[in-house]
Amino acid sequence: MRPSIPMPEKGAPAPTVLEVLDRLERQDADYRHHRLFGLVYRHSEDHEALIREVAGRFLDTNALNPMAFRSLRRLEAETVSMAADLFHGDHEVVGTLTSGGTESLLLAVLAMREWARAHRPWVLRPEVLVPASAHAAFYKAGHCFGVRIRRVPLDRDFRVDLGALRRRIGWQTIGLVASAPCYPYGVVDPVPEMGAIAARKGIPLHVDACLGGFLLPFVESLPAEWRHGEIPPWDFRVPGVTSISADVHKYGYGAKGASLILYRDGQWMRHQFTVETDWCGGVYVSPTLAGTRPGGPIAAAWAALASLGREGYLQNARRLMETARVFREGVEGIAGLRLLGRPVMSVLGIGAVPGGPSPYAMADQMEQRGWHVDRLQDPPGIHLILNPGHGEVAEAFLEDLREACRYVAAHPEVAAEGTAPLYGMIAGVPLRGLVRRNVQSFLLGLYRPPRGPSVLEGLPETPEAGPDALSSEGPALPSWLRQAMGAWYRLRGASRSQ
């Protein structure tokens, strides 16, 4: 049987294509009116117009061959240099742009592994130590490159536990990771102490500043009353830091598809390159993981840094920190809720106090009220990444959050309805293999071929039914197991938030 949506014999006219896309887009999360708290980073309409223009202009270009596109080589080198300056590096700092934070982290781990192959011949099972809060992309890196990613527990402030870190370092340890800040709680690990440990052991320390790279430097320079807790030095000021990742497509406000990986000097960076000398297609050289490297995000990354400058990013940091203060104080004023740790910038984890309402049930309630929020596990929580524009909706959001909190407290049974028990199970069940297999099935469902007809022939007004969210209808667990797990989670959920 042919796939349900065959290749059209005749192409559709451009206006039809654009009209279909307009209608499809209307089914997306409403980020333009600030109802979404993640995935999208927006500066201002003027800035976005510039980025769109630059990315479009370089649409056809390819940085795979920097000799053919000298413009891209220059723009990339200047972007690296501006970021090195921002991160207190010197003229020895080198780096590349990548397609995103994940690719930067993959390269950081690859470079550690290749460095260890060259300098630690006794390492047979390389391992990298990461705080439990480090981004999941490190596990992808470990999976791809055969490196064991070992999780180090956190302290009470959700930063890496230094004692546990010291105890875990062994003969097979080829590197350490810190976050500035981490995704789940928005806190910065104790980088100076970690740098000292790494330097003493003679191993690299990568700082994942994918989220904070283009915000922390400016938050640091704001007067103390603007800040929420101290930010330790986290960049090349710390002698043991050997590499830093920072996403231009997040708070750097470039086009999507742009992150930086910087190394203190070339002796570290050489380990991320691929050089294949015996390929019949010629000597193949590739600086990053991608082959073809789209020029649009590279030129737009340069344009973002060049056009905003320190002044533009500082102004943005002020707007963001003002917005973050309103959200923080609002959350702290709601009985039953608490902030997880002391978030230093605009990324917040919101949990429940002992005996408080289920954060997953609250997230469901917020979604019913038209807000898109992410969920955290361990402890269960709601996750917000703020844009300056969220200032416009802060009061409405907080009012809905108060209302959701009251509702869930008054109706604790909703923790067993909607998506809440499913997230609860995912967070709480000890059978991780089972969870993995079910999430794999869910993903397979999500990426199954669409049912016809093609959107060109007519678009349903509502999105196609299916596993669009991790719904209670989602992963196909046997019902007896779901019930048992739901009961188990409810019992455990109560004790977990204690």
Ligand X SMILES: Cc1ncc(COP(=O)(O)O)c(C=O)c1O
Which has the closest alpha carbon to 351: 382, 392, 372? Answer: 382
Shortest separation between residue 312's beta carbon and ligand X, angstroms? 22
Question: Beta 173-179 vs 127-131: how paired, if at all?
Answer: parallel
In angstroms, the CA 184 to CA 182 distance is: 6
CB of 181 vs ligand X, minimal distance in Å: 7
| Closest CB to ligand X among residues 115, 185 | 185
Residue 156's SS3 state is coil
Task: Give the interface with ligand X as residue ranges (CB under 6 A).
Answer: 100-102, 105, 135, 137, 179, 182-183, 208, 210-211, 247, 259
- Distance between CA atoms of residues 171 and 173, nearest Å: 6
User: For residues 140 and 437, which CB has a smaller minimum distance to ligand X in the complex?
Assistant: 140
- Tokens (6 digits) for 387: 């844009």
Shortest separation between residue 474's beta carbon and ligand X, angstroms: 22
Q: Angle, to 10 degrees, between the axis of helix 359-368 and the axis of helix 394-410?
A: 120
Q: What is the DSSP letter of 98?
A: E
Q: Dihedral sign, CA of 386, 141, 175, 169?
A: positive
Query: Given the complex with ligand X, which of 127 and 247 has the nearer CB atom?
Result: 247
Tell me the H-state helices in 341-465: 359-368, 394-410, 420-428, 432-446
Least distance in angstroms from the C-beta of 324 to ligand X: 16
Residue nearest ligand X (C-beta atom): 101
- 63/210 with CB nearer ligand X: 210
Measured from the CB atom, is 350 or 420 closer to ligand X? 350
Pick between residue 365 and residue 387 the one whose CB is nearest to ligand X: 387
Cβ proximity to ligand X: between 179 and 323 the closer is 179
The candidate with the shortest Cα–Cα distance to 120, out of 188, 172, 195, 51, is 172
| Cα-Cα-Cα-Cα dihedral sign, residues 78, 79, 80, 85 | positive
- Cα(345)–Cα(207) distance, rounded to whole angstroms? 17
Min. distance of Cβ 210 from ligand X in angstroms?
Answer: 3
130: enclosing H helix or E strand: strand 127-131
When the beta carbons of 100 and 204 are compared against ligand X, the nearer one is 100
Cβ atoms of residues 239 and 195 within 8 Å? yes
Dist. CA 327–CA 390, nearest whole Å: 9
Q: How far is the CB of 100 from ligand X (least distance, A)?
A: 3
Q: How far is the CB of 443 from ligand X (least distance, A)?
A: 17
In angstroms, what is the minimal distance from the CB of 275 to ligand X?
Answer: 25
